[in-house]
Structure formats: structure tokens, C-alpha cells
Amino acid sequence: MKHIIVETNDGVRTLTLNRPERLNAINDILSNELIQAFSEASLDDEVRVVIITGSGRGFCSGLDLTENAEGSETQTRSEKLDELGWVGHQALGIVHCDKPVIAAINGTAAGAGLALALACDLRFMSNNAKITAGYIRRGLSPDAGMSYFLPRLVGQSRANELILTGRDIYADEAEQIGLINGVFPAEEFQKQVMNFAVELAAGPPIAMTLSKRLLTTSQDTDLTTILKQEYAFIKQCFETKDVQEGVRAFTEKRKPVFKGE
């Protein structure tokens, strides 16, 4: 990986976007690496939770709009886009990743960088970070799944406001309107997110994977279909050793040790 630092500890795979001089703006290399990184994490049995965060003072400032202007690419972006766009595949990579994905918003998240965080299953924010849809400030409409994820998190009216104004949102408001799951002090932000991730990683991997699939599917599926999927998945869970361990731990009044079996 050229622009992502990959680390795995205690079942937690941390992906750190590493273009701090550009506030971790997404170019084509970073975009491709993100897709690859989520695919690898999804297939790795040693990984139970994924964290995505940024190096330096930014989380991700969105697409790097300066590269073409500086002549660093021989092709225009329009020649490289397919029907999902440059960063559309990243949203699918996160949603289709079988592991819970946490966005650790350590600094500025804007445009496609905010959309990247919105695609994650959970989001935490440093108390000195800020986020913005931002597109409208550059004369652009949203991409990267922004118009899909944002209304589902904060409601249609609030999403309309945030996208059409492009205004800055700070941590307290982000938590209040349901954009994020929590705020941690900047000086202990990464530690607190890691503590949460390690605790989450101790959960039953099979049940967590199936739960994520259900929650993802439920966005656009009728109740009858979801009920059938729930029943099929919970029957699958009952066949695992993790359920047996969960029952034993409950009767023995101890913390269960799940192995994903």
C-alpha cells in the first residue's frame, strides 16, 4: 500500500489514510487501495473489526481536485470513470465488507471523505474535528453515496440542508443529530476508538457478520423478506459453537470467548 498504513492488533484492522500533506484527499491510487483493503479485511479470519482513520490533522478532505491541474496524471478522470464513479466502489466495498467498519474521524472530513465515513457502520469523532458535505461550495453535486447514506442517518429535511448549504458541522452537533455515535477528546481519541473496537471484536464473528448483512439489506427490503432472512440466519447461528459458548458463559456468569466457529 502506498497511501494506506495497515495495522492489525487484537482482531482490529486499522486502515490509516496516509496523504497528510493533502489532508488525505483521495486520488486514484488511494481509491484503488481502499477497495483492496476492505476486500482483504473481509476475507481475513483474523480480522473482526475494521477502523478507518487519517494521518495528520485530517480524516479525508474528499477527492483530490488538484492533481489534474498540476498535470500529474496523463488521463483525465472522466476517461477512468465507470457508471459508479471514482469513489462509488469504495462505498460498496465498505457496505459489502463482512466485518463491522468504524470511521474514526480524527480531523476534517469533507465531500467524498465524509461520504466515506457515512458508509461505515459506526462513526466516532474527535472533539476538535469538523465535517461538511462541501460539494456545493465547489459547484458540485454529491457522489460516493452521500445522497444515499445521509438521509438515512439524519432524515430527509436535515440532509437537504447539509448538502444544499455545505456548512460546517462540529462534533457536538454531529452527535446531536445522529450523524455519529460518540465524541472523544482529541488527546485520547485514537485510544478510545481502539478500546471500543477491541471490545466489539470480542463479539461472535459469525453473528456479527450476519447481523451486518441483515441491517444492510433492511434499508431497501420489505418486512416479509427480512423476516425470512432473519429466520434463516438465526438458524445458522444456532448451529455454531459460539452459541454454545454464549449459553455456557451465561450460566457460569463469565465473559464468553467467541472463536467464530
- Residue 96 a catalytic site member: no
Q: Which residues pair with 104 in a beta bridge?
A: 124
> 94, 226, 67, 69: which is closest to 148 by C-alpha?
94
Distance CA 21, CA 9 (A): 27
Of 3, 64, 121, 143, which one is the catalytic site residue?
143
C-alpha cell at 48: 473482526
- Which residue shows C-alpha cell 471514482? 86
**Cα dihedral sign, 86-54-102-163:** negative
H or E element: which one contains 109?
strand 108-110
Distance CA 52, CA 36 (A): 13
- Residue 89 a catalytic site member: yes
Is residue 30 within 8 A of residue 52, CB to CB? The reply is no
> 92, 3, 97, 90: which is closest to 47 by C-alpha?
97
Within 13 A of 18's CA, how many CA atoms are on the CB side? 11
- Furthest-apart CA atoms within the chain: distance in Å: 66
Of 89, 96, 121, 220, which one is the catalytic site residue?
89
Pairing of strands 49-54, 58-60: unpaired
Q: Which residues are catalytic?
A: 89, 143
